[in-house]
């Protein structure tokens, strides 16, 4: 008798752990039972993201860059699993390279996006980019892995924490990526991945008062309604690109802080 393989249970990723949905619900996607997160799971994820974000942002940029590079290393090591999931090894390579590309931005953002401003007065006036805080990310369905990485990496490199609603029809790449993140020195809570029904989860994320920005790139259904909900706390709305790498994709999740520092004897 041939050996019976051990099958994986696909769960959520919240605060560095892999819980089932508190609702106990699952749904079937890509031939697997997948956790179907609830509104409460969203709220839990936002809470731990908010707690984890300040420490992530307080890391040195060099350190944050290395952690993201480590994600690329771990992703590369799992190329085979991801290629089986996505059916496209080239997509996996592109996703690895994308993480490497964004990792390199961590300690360059301030130089490219910031400025020293020549004001008329005895002040050293400068502008620096800072993370906006907790970002809700609605992941596009295609490409399953590269779309997810393209939206997530720019959020992270700037020092934000993310609450990600995975693709409803192609969620396995997200769960698989959670396992990569869990072994990559990304602090628990900085990335939280939820699987389930977008129509159920996205409005909760959009309306949550402790979420600072919403990436609607992968949203479907009533996107105007999501944006209306997001206005309750003046969320930053990002409509990005599914398969692009650019520092301006990062900039959508950043605030600009300007400091007037006095000069004198």
Partner 1 sequence: MAELEQRGDRTPAPAKWEYASAPESREIVNLQERYGLFVGGEFIEPRSGEYYRTLDPSSEEPLAEIPQAGAEDVALAVRTARDAFEDGWSAAAPAERAKYLYRIARILQERSREFAVLESLNGGKPIRESRDVDLPLAAAHFFYYAGWADKLEYAFPHRRPKSLGVAGQIIPWNFPLLMLAWKIAPALAAGNTVVLKPAETTPLSALLFCDVLRQAELPPGVVNIITGDGATGAALVKSDVDKIAFTGSTEVGKAIQRELAGTGKKLTLELGGKAANIIFDDCALDQAVEGIVNGIYFNQGHVCCAGSRLLVQESIYEPLIEKLKRRLTTLRVGDPLDKNTDVGAINSRQQLEKIEELVAAGKEEGAEIYQPPCRLPEKGYWFIPTVFTNVAQSYRIAQEEIFGPVLSVLTFRTPDEAIEKANNTPYGLSAGVWTEKGSRILWMAQRLEAGVIWANTYNRFDPASPFGGYKESGFGREGGRHGLEPYLDFDGAEAFGG
CA distances 56 to 49, 52, 65, 150, 187, Å, are 10, 6, 11, 20, 7
Residue 62 binds partner 1 (CB under 8 A): no
Judged by beta carbon, residue 89 or residue 248, the one nearer partner 1 is: 248
**Least Å from the CB of residue 25 to partner 1:** 30
Q: 184-187 long-range contacts, Cβ below 8 Å, gap at least 24?
A: 184/67, 184/70, 184/71, 184/73, 184/74, 185/67, 185/70, 186/67, 186/68, 186/71, 186/156, 187/16, 187/52, 187/55, 187/56
Which of residues 5, 62, 118, 265 is near partner 1 by CB under 8 A? 118
Stretch of 40-48, 136-144, 161-169, 222-230 lying at the interface with partner 1 (CB under 8 A): 222-230
Residue 223 binds partner 1 (CB under 8 A): yes
Judged by beta carbon, residue 133 or residue 196, the one nearer partner 1 is: 133
- DSSP states of 173-195 as a string? HHHHHHHHHHTTTPPTTSEEEE-
Judged by beta carbon, residue 84 or residue 225, the one nearer partner 1 is: 225
Give the pair of three-digit tokens for residue 70.
């480590």
Stretch of 23-31, 147-155, 179-187, 231-239 lying at the interface with partner 1 (CB under 8 A): 231-239
Stretch of 41-49, 154-162, 184-192, 248-256 lying at the interface with partner 1 (CB under 8 A): 248-256
Backbone angles phi, psi at 203, to 5 degrees: -65, -35
- Rounded Cα–Cα distance for residues 178 and 230 (Å): 26
Residue 108 binds partner 1 (CB under 8 A): no
**Least Å from the CB of residue 126 to partner 1:** 9
Q: How many residues bind partner 1 (CB under 8 A)?
A: 40
**Least Å from the CB of residue 24 to partner 1:** 34
Asked whether 134 and 45 are in contact (CB, 8 A), the reply is no
Which of residues 18, 69, 101, 197 is near partner 1 by CB under 8 A? 101
CA distances 201 to 88, 109, 130, 230, 247, Å, are 29, 32, 27, 13, 28
Contact footprint for partner 1 (CB under 8 A): 101, 115, 117-121, 123, 125, 127, 132, 212, 223-228, 230-234, 236, 239, 241, 244-249, 255-262
């Amino acid at each position: 008798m041939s050996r019976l393989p051990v099958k994986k249970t696909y769960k959520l990723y919240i605060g560095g752990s892999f819980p089932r949905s508190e609702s106990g619900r699952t749904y079937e996607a890509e031939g697997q039972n997948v956790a179907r997160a609830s509104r409460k799971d969203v709220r839990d994820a936002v809470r731990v993201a908010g707690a984890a974000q300040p420490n992530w942002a307080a890391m040195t940029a060099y350190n944050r860059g290395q952690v993201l590079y480590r994600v690329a290393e771990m992703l590369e090591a799992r190329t085979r699993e991801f290629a089986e999931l996505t059916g496209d090894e080239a997509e996996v390579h592109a996703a690895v390279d994308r993480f490497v590309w964004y990792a390199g931005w961590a300690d360059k953002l301030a130089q490219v996006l910031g400025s020293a401003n020549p004001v008329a007065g005895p002040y050293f006036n400068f502008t620096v980019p800072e993370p906006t805080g907790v970002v809700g990310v609605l992941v596009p369905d295609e490409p399953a892995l590269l779309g997810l990485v393209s939206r997530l990496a720019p959020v992270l490199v700037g020092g934000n924490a993310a609450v990600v609603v995975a693709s409803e029809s192609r969620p396995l790449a997200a769960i698989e990526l959670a396992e990569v993140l869990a072994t990559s020195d990304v602090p628990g809570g900085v990335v939280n991945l939820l699987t389930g029904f977008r129509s159920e989860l996205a409005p909760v994320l959009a309306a949550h008062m402790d979420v600072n920005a919403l990436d609607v790139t992968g949203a479907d259904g009533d996107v105007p309604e999501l944006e209306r909900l997001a206005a309750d706390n003046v969320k930053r709305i990002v409509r990005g690109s599914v398969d692009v790498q650019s520092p301006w994709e990062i900039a959508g999740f950043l605030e600009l802080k300007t400091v007037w520092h006095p000069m004198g004897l």
